[in-house]
Structure 1
Amino acid sequence: MDYRPALWDGSDPLYAPNTARTKDWLYWKPTKKFVDAGFPKIPRRLPGRIGDGNDAMRAQLAREYTREMLRWFDSAEPKIEPGSWKHLIAAYLTDDFSPFQDLKENTKAEYRRNMTRWEEAIGTALVRDGTLPEIKGWQRAMATNGRSAAYQKRQFTALRILISYGVSTHFEGAKAAEDVVRKIRVKGVRARAISPTEAQIAAIIKAADDAKDHMFALGLSLQWWLTLRAVDVRGQWLAGDASGIRKNGKYWADGLTWDMIDRDLTVLRKTPSKTEEVLPDELVYDLMLVPDLRRRLADISNENRVGPVIVQRNGVPYSKRRWATLFARYRKSAKVPNHIWCMDTRAGAINHAKRAGASHIELQHQANHAQASTTDRYIRERSTSVNKVIQLRTRTG
């Protein structure tokens, strides 16, 4: 694209190159040539609204952004080779219509890490050159370098997501690469077979109470009796600009808040974060069924019943690491085996319900799983079920 002299000398104060209007706003967008070379594709919204009398100011910014893009292209900085894996990764991470933009911030961070590893390993190679020997060689290189089966599975899952995006955007070579990856089997990771018992969880809760950490005891009780993920109790800190509770450039989300609990502490309403898009209806928990849980909530004074339910002594919600650290501390005090992790609490609750006689559909609903197969992965006591069936069969013999 040829730019007018006004780009450099400002002879036309209303000259606004590379701009496009969307409703009442004006956006500056880099051209395809520079995006293909690696310049960030994300458009920049120019301040104000069209018709507010600030057209000259927006035009000046558009010229500045355009000059910045041209200087970047003329610099010695290495460019992205069109058609390369690095090019595809950049498109997946920056295109405004990429499914990546719809992910939650913590998931985006994980995906970026996975994509960065692929970029470092194969970024300069062309997607169209991804033959079976080539891609199979990447898998073997991971194994040779001591990468675990879990790492390999995670990275090839990320690669499949990336290639699928390339196919949807008709990226050169993506369809052929997709056909190749389908032929590559990456060994799955064996699911955890650990399921804490009610007695073990009760012992950890007691250890927290003995340490006067009643807030952690309440949080773990909520996880156990309501079969909630830890993130849906304590919440999590995410990178981003969202408003609300903020700390060190992050915002708090997904945890329990007092507006989810009725004033008389009889009902708790919560839409679990992981399935809020596919199962948007809130779950309604009858707290009258769990008197101990209700008593713990009642111990919190009325003036403190605002904002997040589970907070530290300074009033700030817990981080994931701090929550896991406290679980390990009280697990040790309770003399519960080290192989019991905080993340196993949910599986323990599901298996506790199964032993109590809950049907499979009831287990699925309690866990708020969209698919019954997901609930199956939480069932730890398969051997117990097998022997129960043998016992039932021998009785009829």
Structure 2
Amino acid sequence: MPSVNAPGLKRRKNRDGTERLYWAAPKSALAAGFPNRIVRLHFSAHDPAQHPLIEAACKRLEAEALEWTAGRRETRSAFDGTIASLVRQYQTDMASPYREVKWNTQRTYDQVLGVIEKAFGKRSLAALGISDFRRWYDEAKKPKAPGGSERVRKAHGIISMMRRMFAYGVTAELQECGRLLTILEKARFKQPGRRRQKLESHHVEAFIAKALDAGRQSLALGTALQFETTMRQRDVIGEWEPIPVAESAGGIVLGARRWVRGLTWADISDAFVVMKVTTKTGSEVAHDLTLCPLVMDLLARVPADRRIGPLIVDETAGRPYAEHAYAREWRLVARAAGIPDSVWNMDARAGGISEADDAGADLDAIRSAAGHSQASTTVRYVRGTIGKSRKVAELRKAHRNKS
């Protein structure tokens, strides 16, 4: 190997005569408690194109060691080559994509990261391979109880999170992440099946009747809006977002959270047109509520003096539904209406989109109404319909008769 400017570079021979490269920390850094004594370098000394990569890696590691020796250390713990350390780096590094996702997505990520750290945190990245990932996936998907369904969604979620962490590790130049990301990008793991359930018009009508009987007009209106406009639950009822420490607690506040992004009466024009910027994609959707009979009937039940503030208000609390309360109360009414537990409130969106497809609506028009950026997303919400199939069959029949 030609001379390279790579401080700390060490070479060792494998049993088969091949060579592997390492970076070794200087003794002064080890004496100061630097955590990374030796770091494996997955480069080839015999490939001149990789020599600059070897030099860059060694110089970066050497600089980190010297910074440590000089007392300039980050408040977050240094990367020590374990899964637990990678989890911590991913969560705390200001350059991590974790910092860019919404607070509720971070909360979901944290749950999966906690499972990963607890189960595999002490494992060294350098010792991992495809057999480990396969074993972990198989273990995670086992039924919670004998005879139960496999938890494929949980298992696939763990693998997906590892892909995210290793992708971050590549950008942060953390050792082993590139190798492990390549393995997971090439490997294939069974994904959870797509939901097939949908809330249909007869479900919605039965639900509205039971909700009104129970004094839950808010649940009836929310469900009708979700079904007839295909808006997401969050865009209809809003959500409770943590209030940043530096901000004042204005608006509708519950504890340390502020209600945001739900429909208000001000969002409905005098012509009963509602316009909304969606929370997920940021696209703007518009709906003429005069063409939504279920919604119009329920709006007419609200006295004029109460048409102010949030549109969907918990009757018992006098404010927007607290987190999880809407889904909990919705299920009670759904059971009374005979709606199977396998059909969820979120399936109202799929039900509305599927009904539009069955009616023969143009796919791009459905996509626009639903606020999807891509038609492929809309297709995933079309469940068990025959509209397009019937239209194709009719065209074929007409063509056959003409021939």
TM above 0.5: yes
The Cα shift of 1:363 comes to 1.2
**C-alpha deviation, 1:191, in angstroms:** 1.0
Write the mapping of 1:146-185 to structure 2, written as runs, cut at 5 A: 148-185=151-188
User: In the alignment, residue 275 of structure 2 is paired with which amino acid?
Assistant: R
Corresponding residue for residue 46 of structure 1: none
Partner Cα distance (1:33, 1:137) in 2: 37
Q: How does 1:312-351 map to 2 (within 5 A)?
A: 312-313=314-315, 314-351=317-354
Q: Which amino acid aligns with 1:110?
A: T
Question: How far off its partner does 1:284 sit?
Answer: 2.1
- Structure 2 residue runs without a partner (length 5+): 1-27, 29-65, 145-149
Match of 2:117 in 1: 119
Contact 1:265–1:298 (8 Å) recurs in 2: no
Aligned 8 A contact 1:128 1:176 in 2: no
The residue number in structure 2 matching 1:108 is 106
Q: Is the 8 A contact 2:360 2:388 kept in 1?
A: no
Question: Amino acid of the residue matched to residue 188 of structure 1?
Answer: Q
Q: Output aligned runs, 1:1-397, within 5 Å.
A: 33=68, 40-41=75-76, 82-143=80-141, 148-241=151-244, 243=249, 244-262=251-269, 264=270, 266-276=272-282, 279=283, 282-313=284-315, 314-381=317-384, 385-386=388-389, 389-390=392-393, 392-394=395-397, 396-397=399-400
Deviation at 1:385, TM superposition (A): 4.7
Q: Which amino acid aligns with 1:310?
A: I
2:325 and 2:384 map into 1 onto residues whose CA distance is: 30
Change beyond 3 A, Cα 1:249–1:131: same
In the TM superposition, residue 145 of structure 1 has moved relative to its aligned partner by: 7.3
TM-score by length of 1: 0.74
CA RMSD between the two structures:
2.9
Normalised by the length of structure 2, the TM-score is: 0.73
SS at match of 1:270: strand
Q: Which amino acid aligns with 2:261?
A: D
Shift of 1:291: 5.0
Distance in 1, Cα, partners of 2:87 & 2:340: 43
For residues 261-308 of structure 1, the C-alpha deviation after alignment (integer angstroms, 9 at most, x for no partner) is: 22x2522111111111xx3xx222222323552453354344433332
Three-state SS of the structure 1 residue aligned to 2:258 is strand
Per the TM alignment, residue 387 of structure 1 is displaced from its structure 2 partner at its CA by 6.2
Distance 1:385-1:271 versus aligned 2 partners, 3 A rule: same
Q: Is the 8 A contact 1:265 1:297 kept in 2?
A: no
What is the deviation of 1:365? 1.0
* C-alpha distance in 2 between matches for 1:137 and 1:332: 40
Give % identity.
Answer: 29
Classify 1:293/1:386 alpha carbon distance in 2 versus 1 (closer, same or farther; 3 Å): closer
Indicate conservation of the 8 Å contact 1:80/1:86, yes or no. no
User: Is the contact between residue 238 and residue 252 of structure 1 (CA under 8 Å) also seen in structure 2?
Assistant: yes
The residue type paired with residue 298 of structure 2 is R
Q: How many residues align?
A: 325
Q: Check 1:33–1:115 CA distance in 2 against 1; reply closer, same or farther (3 A cut).
A: farther
1:275 aligned counterpart, secondary structure: coil
* Pair 80,134 (structure 1): closer, same or farther in 2 beyond 3 Å: farther
Runs of 4+ in structure 1 over 6 Å off: none
